[in-house]
Structure 1
Amino acid sequence: MAVQVCNNVVASSEGRELAQHGSPMFPIACYAEDMTADSVAWHWHEEFEYILSEKGILYVDVNKTRVRLNQGEGIFVNSGALHAVEQSPALLHSSVFHPRLVGGMDTIFWQKLIKPMTQPGAPAFFLLNEAVPWQKEVLACLRDAWREVADEPLIMRTGRGIISRRRCGSSAPSAWAARPKSPSRSRSRPSG
């Protein structure tokens, strides 16, 4: 999948973006934009989105909140959140992906982790700052995912999904491939 330009948002009168992101078999798309001369208009979509400030300062508006993203910071925008990105001298990388990419709707993962994010009352966004260790790791994983999706043929050949052969947080490219197979799992059910 080639990286796409994100400044031409086509939305319904209610602000719902009409573009399809990715394909039904691979529901994710990457976008890159030099925001110096462009902005991203107000819109919402059922997909999740993350936006990374790769260079410069970005101003992202989510619902009624303006967020400043310094270089290296990011934001996760929830499904259904109205959002826009203002013109500024910055480079934006983003990915828009359907929640089903993370986990099928018939899984405990979906029921416990993804579905609650798509319900009314869930946070509209989460900020990601490199000064917080776990968020720095998340940002590194999102950057890795962005690069892998931007080079989709590699993903399709490896069959490993959107995270490359490299494990997030590891600088060794072979860390993922060299990872030992997990031991057999017990059949007990999680409590809760």
Structure 2
Amino acid sequence: MTEKTEKTGGWRGSREVWLDAAREAFVTSGLDAVKIQPLATRLNLSRTSFYWFFPDRAALLDAILADWEATNTGSLERATQSYSETIAEAVLNLIGVFLDDGPFETRLDLAVRGWAHQSDDVAARVHAADAARLSAIHDMFARFGYSPGEADVRARTVYLTQIGYISMQVRETMAERLARVPDYVMTFTGQAATESELARFRARHKT
């Protein structure tokens, strides 16, 4: 994590500083690590400064969930709506979200899913997020002429494959992951990506 004190404005810090520290503590050490005093110590701020930005710990935890929804579900939905001339290109846009340099935070997703096992409310938000993500991918396939049933199955194939990567904490080098991309595109869509589509994809991800 970057040094948060560099972002601290004045003696209270900022809402972003507290939220970033809480999210990092949550991802690296679990829910019990998200406590006000340890965060204050970590940030070299007073405990009371926390209350300028959040009324209590519950509000901070809710902010972590809202951030997760905006970051992960939001980035996936935007990818499915990005301009693409073919379904292969659309799927490449989506695959790019999940790469190491993409906006989807896999560690945060894994941590929230673990939290859902402890909280019915969090589980409900995870289920809602999964439904929204699947719906966005389904609509992407439907936009390219796939029938509702086929769009549903292909959406599930794409999404559940990625969630499997996250849940199993698969470790691959970027080269290994990218080598599989053309075959993933074929499997997910039934169509091959063109060389120009793959070249643009690699250029975006600097490979």
TM-score with structure 1 setting the length: 0.31
Structure with higher strand content: 1
Q: Which has the larger radius of gyration?
A: 2
